[in-house]
């Protein structure tokens, strides 16, 4: 069994879906688990739908109609027969979605979010599975919500691996005896009460990894619109290099610091079972790509992770007392309560500095709370640069015309919070 993951960009329109079939045709007769994300930017549109529905800030019907039209347009290009069952199936799914926004929201935002946003993957997999069957790639559509089991932390479901593995053995493996290819949703799971959860944005990679773990797959391939893992994001750097081979350790470090090529949670289950992970281009599927596997080999080039729109908070006790374990634990609790993730932190005698993504709403609420107990200084509009396997030359080049507000170096990694020097 091999597990493949196709992200939103690889199914963004009818052409892209046809290309998925082309990629899959290179693996005839093989046992494949195919994990698919919502089409194109559908997850963002669905988030928009939840927001207008929940906060009554616009017209949810209009947004839903746009999402519906987007998918029907793709279907029309994929299925010329207007009586193809996919059309009724989609109509029914959209009726369900419509029900979800008809009544007043009764549950928490996060709960409503998961019930609605998860439909992006349900819809995309129905379309892709039907198209592949049509194209001669016989597959079974699997509703992953009955297999990947999570707790009820909506929007960040924690996977129960033991239960999930048991359900894979009981429900999924028998299906593979009749048909060794299945198509299923990334990003989503289910609770013991049969509610839907999501695993965090960009979580489809993680789904592929969970399934590979439970199925003892031979390998996982993430098919992307880039040739593999690059040493920097081409959005920010113009001379990027593809990395041919990466250790699990380096991969987890890079994703932890914010490399967006793979979801950070993807590596652990694969490392635990020594399953190699390939990152390849769906445009050039025969090319090598990157392999992530066990190994000691260090990268021989620096990797760069650049994050903009950061905020640097400096938290100080009001009475000049030391920052110590007890007030630190209070501070961490507040961060966790407000769902603010820390990208970098540094401690000194009377100050604790933290760099995080500048999510206006969350940061504002957090700072207000912190101010009840501490003095809080803050610097917004800053950047966070992380370099793994840095050299002094790379640091000099990156910090030209920048003011460094905070720096942290370990043997292999340097992190700098900086802003443009107006001079």
- Rank residues 35 and 334 by Cβ distance to ligand ASP and give the closer one: 35
Q: Are 198 and 111 in contact (CB under 8 A)?
A: no
- Rank residues 204 and 415 by Cβ distance to ligand ASP and give the closer one: 204
Contacts with Mg ion, residue ranges (CB under 5 A): 7-8, 37
By CB under 6 A, the residues from 121 to 160 that bind ligand ASP are none
DSSP 331: H
- Residue 190's binding partner out of Mg ion, ligand ASP, none, with CB under 5 to 8 Å set by partner kind: none
- Residue 38's binding partner out of ligand ASP, Mg ion, none, with CB under 5 to 8 Å set by partner kind: ligand ASP
Q: Are 211 and 63 in contact (CB under 8 A)?
A: no
φ/ψ of 253, rounded to 5, equals -65, -50
Q: What minimum distance in Å lies between the beta carbon of 186 and ligand ASP? A: 5
Q: Which of 38, 90, 142, 340 binds ligand ASP (CB under 6 A)?
A: 38
- Rank residues 8 and 157 by Cβ distance to ligand ASP and give the closer one: 8
| CA–CA separation, 119 and 45 (whole Å) | 11
- Rank residues 204 and 247 by Cβ distance to ligand ASP and give the closer one: 204
Note whether 7 binds ligand ASP by CB under 6 A.
yes
Q: Which of 202, 250, 253, 383 binds ligand ASP (CB under 6 A)?
A: 202
Instruction: Look at the block and give the residue holding tokens 């199925």.
Output: 215
> Residue 224's beta-bridge partner residues?
281
Q: Which two tokens stand for residue 67?
A: 């999402």
- Rank residues 37 and 314 by Cβ distance to ligand ASP and give the closer one: 37
Note whether 186 binds ligand ASP by CB under 6 A.
yes
- Rank residues 266 and 314 by Cβ distance to ligand ASP and give the closer one: 266
- Rank residues 202 and 253 by Cβ distance to Mg ion and give the closer one: 202
Q: Which of 1, 2, 8, 344 binds ligand ASP (CB under 6 A)?
A: 8
Segment contacting ligand ASP by CB under 6 A, of 86-94, 126-134, 199-207, 296-304: 199-207
Q: What minimum distance in Å lies between the beta carbon of 397 and Mg ion? A: 31
Integer distance in angstroms from the first to the last C-alpha of the chain?
58
Helix (H) or strand (E) holding 166: helix 161-167
- Compute how many residues bind ligand ASP; rule: CB under 6 A: 12
Beta pairing, strands 290-293 & 344-348: unpaired
92, 159, 267 from 70: Cα distances, Å: 16, 32, 33
| CA–CA separation, 211 and 214 (whole Å) | 5
For residue 160, give the nearest of 152, 151, 170, 173 by alpha carbon.
Answer: 151
For residue 85, give the nearest of 39, 26, 129 by alpha carbon.
Answer: 129
Note whether 187 binds ligand ASP by CB under 6 A.
yes
- Rank residues 47 and 288 by Cβ distance to ligand ASP and give the closer one: 47
Residue with the closest Cβ to ligand ASP?
204
- Residue 201's binding partner out of Mg ion, ligand ASP, none, with CB under 5 to 8 Å set by partner kind: ligand ASP
Q: What minimum distance in Å lies between the beta carbon of 9 and ligand ASP? A: 9
| Helix, coil or strand: residue 53 | helix
Contacts (Cβ under 8 Å, ≥6 apart) of 45? 63, 66, 67, 70
DSSP 419: E
- Rank residues 46 and 354 by Cβ distance to ligand ASP and give the closer one: 46
- Rank residues 7 and 60 by Cβ distance to ligand ASP and give the closer one: 7
Segment contacting ligand ASP by CB under 6 A, of 24-32, 195-203, 219-227, 292-300: 195-203
Range list of β-strands (E), 166-271: 181-185, 188-190, 196-198, 219-224, 245-247
| Helix, coil or strand: residue 62 | helix
- Residue 290's binding partner out of ligand ASP, Mg ion, none, with CB under 5 to 8 Å set by partner kind: none
Report CA torsion sign: 16, 70, 201, 131: negative
Q: What minimum distance in Å lies between the beta carbon of 37 and Mg ion? A: 5
| CA–CA separation, 78 and 15 (whole Å) | 9
Q: H helices then E strands: how many in the chain?
A: 14, 16
- Residue 189's binding partner out of ligand ASP, Mg ion, none, with CB under 5 to 8 Å set by partner kind: none
Q: What minimum distance in Å lies between the beta carbon of 119 and Mg ion? A: 16
| Helix, coil or strand: residue 351 | strand
Q: What minimum distance in Å lies between the beta carbon of 199 and ligand ASP? A: 8
Q: What minimum distance in Å lies between the beta carbon of 403 and Mg ion? A: 34
Note whether 201 binds ligand ASP by CB under 6 A.
yes
For binding to ligand ASP (CB under 6 A), which residues are involved? 7-8, 37-38, 43, 120, 186-187, 201-204
């Amino acid at each position: 069994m091999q597990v493949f993951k196709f992200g939103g960009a690889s199914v963004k329109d009818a052409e892209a879906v046809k290309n998925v079939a082309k990629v899959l045709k290179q693996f005839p007769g093989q046992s494949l688990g195919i994990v698919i994300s919502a089409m194109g930017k559908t997850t963002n549109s669905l988030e928009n739908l939840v927001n207008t529905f929940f906060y009554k800030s616009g017209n949810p019907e209009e947004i839903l109609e746009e999402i519906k039209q987007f998918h029907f347009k793709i279907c029309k290009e994929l299925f010329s027969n207007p009586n193809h069952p996919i059309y009724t199936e989609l109509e029914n799914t959209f009726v369900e979605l419509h029900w979800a926004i008809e009544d007043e929201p009764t549950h928490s935002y996060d709960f409503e979010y998961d019930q609605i946003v998860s439909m992006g993957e349900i819809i995309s997999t129905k379309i892709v599975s039907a198209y592949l069957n049509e194209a001669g790639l016989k597959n079974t559509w699997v509703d992953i919500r009955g297999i990947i089991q999570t707790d009820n932390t909506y929007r960040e479901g924690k996977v129960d691996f033991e239960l999930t593995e048991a359900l894979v053995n009981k429900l999924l493996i028998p299906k593979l005896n009749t048909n060794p290819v299945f198509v299923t949703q990334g990003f989503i799971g289910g609770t013991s009460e049969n509610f839907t959860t999501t695993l965090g944005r960009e979580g489809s990679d993680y789904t592929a990894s969970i399934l590979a773990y439970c199925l003892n797959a031979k390998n996982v391939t993430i098919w992307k619109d880039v040739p593999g893992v690059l040493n920097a994001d081409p959005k920010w750097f113009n001379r990027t290099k593809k990395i041919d081979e990466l250790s699990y350790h380096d991969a987890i470090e890079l994703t932890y610091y914010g490399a967006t090529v793979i979801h950070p949670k993807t590596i652990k289950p694969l490392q635990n079972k020594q399953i190699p992970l390939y990152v390849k281009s769906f445009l050039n599927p025969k090319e090598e790509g990157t392999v992530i596997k066990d190994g000691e080999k260090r990268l021989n080039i620096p990797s760069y992770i650049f994050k903009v729109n950061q905020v640097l908070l400096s938290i100080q006790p009001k009475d000049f007392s030391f920052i110590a374990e007890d007030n630190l634990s209070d501070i961490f609790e507040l961060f966790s309560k407000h769902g603010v993730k820390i990208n970098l932190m540094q401690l000194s005698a009377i100050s604790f500095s933290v760099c995080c993504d500048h999510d206006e709403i969350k940061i504002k609420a957090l700072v207000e709370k912190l101010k009840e107990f501490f003095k809080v200084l803050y610097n917004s509009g800053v950047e966070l640069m992380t370099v793994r396997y840095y050299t002094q030359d790379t640091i000099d080049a990156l910090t030209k015309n920048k003011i460094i507000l905070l720096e942290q170096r370990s043997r292999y990694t340097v992190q700098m919070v900086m802003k443009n020097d107006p001079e």
